[in-house]
Chains A and B, each alone.
Chain A
Amino acid sequence: MSKILIENVDLEFVFRPAGSIKDALVGKRIHEGEIKKVHALKNIHLELSDGDRLGVIGHNGAGKSTLLKTIAGIYTPTSGTVRLEGVPTCLFELATGFEMEASGYQNIKLRALMLGLTPREADAKTAEIAEFSGLGEHLKRPLKYYSSGMFLRLAFSISTAISPEILLLDEVVAAGDAGFIDKANQRMREMVDQVDILVFVSHSMDQIKAFCNRCIWMSGGRIVLQGEVDTVIDAYQTAMHLNPGNPELALNLE
């Protein structure tokens, strides 16, 4: 049984003008006007339970990834509450969070530990991950010598090895040769089928249609429309067509 409950969530990023010691020494005050605020999430309500597969669409900078990170607990909202029942796994920024000097094997172990496995469980998992990545002997070499394709194969294999209850997915593009892409896509599908709840951010309407049974459209940090996948996507695409620069405006005109 998993659940995501988001109530009244607001998130503001505050950018202070780079506070340097020089300014502090000469007693320079930071004026209100110099502090820039970005209201990344505005009054978000969401309730998801077992079986929900939520697609999140919208323009760049609409707050989609921020929403994902807030659900994951990486960002703490400025106000409102995020409650989670179940263990979340995030699949975004695939290429970060590795020790470049360490070998593939060491990175697998480390990541497994960070995801909460005990050393014994991590060792057991290592063989499985190594096998899936198909990198063989390369896993003994430090990551800094990997080609970008090899690197993504490893990252994908590690990140998808532990089946979560809640999967937070941000536009994952599998890389590597054709054979690996097939394998990766298949694993994605298995994962998506197995998890209790999926939240999927994507610009590919086909992918959203393939994976999701609910959809929200975000713009300017707000959920502007939610409902059936086809309905929301149609509205979004119509709005994009009417006014490519500012689809939200088009929506309001309707």
Chain B
Amino acid sequence: MIQYFKNLWRSRYIIVSLALQDIRNRYRRSIFGILWSVLMPLGLALIIASVYTIIWKTDIKTFLPFLLSGLTPWSFISGCSTNGAMAYLSAEGYIKQLPVKLELFPVRVMLGALIELLFGLIAFFVIVLLFNPALITFNLFLIPVALIIYMIAGTAMATIAATLQTFIRDYAPLQTLLLQAFFYVTPIIFTTEILAQRGANFELIYKFNPFYYFLQIMRDALLGNRPDLVTWLVAVGLSLGLLFVAILLVQKTRKQIVFKL
């Protein structure tokens, strides 16, 4: 267990260097450059919100911040899983000839997604300042706490996806489908109230959905809800549980991975 954290600590310079490169490369030679990381979530939210406002006459002032507060964390989660699946396979050149520690590559993926998430938060605050400044409350102090939980869960998800994909090459498309399904089942583009109105059975849809808890803690921080202790505890528990599984996987498969690349 401790070995895992020791290895990561020893690899810290490599991880930072790789993550910075990923960011630099992503928008190299595009005119807006890094600004795209803010513009993309803004644009996507505007599109969905316009559709909702026109068709269902939703109030854009409350709906747009709500939407962004869910979309941004969701793209972090799906980014960690999707890109995480390739974390080991794309590092073949390093793993096969250099004394690098395996566990650093999923962290590289997580950091890339985290930086996108931070830019997404900037997009959120742009929208809030324009449409609904009342949302800015003391809850914002919860953002760093939520981010730490995200980093733990994101690293774990990327590690698990990387291991599964290395052993079973069918995993990535399956995961994409699953994530897509969860995107529609999780209250991201609709509220929990909508489900509650349909009856108690429908509430189970989100209450048993692990992703709900991860999204909800960020929403508490961003939208000034009264933070619900149970939700936060579930999120912390889930992320630590995932990390435990991830570390076990790393320990069990460390020696075999190189033969499977």
Contact = CB atoms under 8 A, between A and B. Distances in A.
B96 A106 contact: no
A20 B95 CA distance: 24
B259 interface: yes
A96 B95 CA distance: 10
Contacts of A122: 13
Interface in B220-257: 255
B259 A13 contact: yes
Interface string B79-97: 0000000000000111111
5 contacts: A13-B259, A19-B168, A21-B171, A69-B96, A96-B92
B198 interface: no
A68 to B, nearest CB: 10
A207 B170 CA distance: 46
Interface stretch (A52-60, A107-115, A242-250): A107-115
A92 interface: yes
B17 A109 contact: yes
A135 to B, nearest CB: 19
B258 interface: yes
Contacts of B92: 96
A145 interface: no
Contacts of A92: 97
A18 B168 CA distance: 8
A110 B97 contact: no
**B13, B28, B97: most-surrounded residue (chain A CB, <10 A):** B97
B98 A97 contact: yes
Interface in A78-135: 88, 90, 92-93, 96-99, 101-102, 106, 109-111, 113-116, 118-119, 122
Across the A-B interface, the 6 shortest Cβ-Cβ residue pairs: A96-B93, A97-B93, A76-B255, A101-B25, A21-B170, A113-B14
Nearest to A111: B98
A100 to B, nearest CB: 9
B13 A119 contact: yes
B99 interface: yes
Given A20-B168, A109-B17, A116 B255 contact: no
Interface in B1-23: 13-14, 17-18, 21
Interface in B41-87: none
A114 B100 contact: yes
**B13, B28, B167: most-surrounded residue (chain A CB, <10 A):** B13
B14 A20 contact: no
Interface of A: 13-14, 18-22, 69, 72-76, 88, 90, 92-93, 96-99, 101-102, 106, 109-111, 113-116, 118-119, 122
A99 B105 CA distance: 14
A91 to B, nearest CB: 9
Given A102-B25, A106-B21, A115 B13 contact: no
B97 A97 contact: yes
B98 A114 contact: yes
A101 B93 contact: no
Contacts of B14: 110, 113-114
Nearest to B167: A19
Contacts of A111: 98
Contacts of A76: 255
A193 to B, nearest CB: 23
A101 B28 CA distance: 9
Contacts of B134: none
**B93, B95, B174: most-surrounded residue (chain A CB, <10 A):** B93
A114 B24 CA distance: 20
Contacts of A73: 99
A21 B97 CA distance: 31
A212 B241 CA distance: 53
Interface in B147-174: 167-171, 174
A18 B18 CA distance: 32
B21 A101 contact: yes
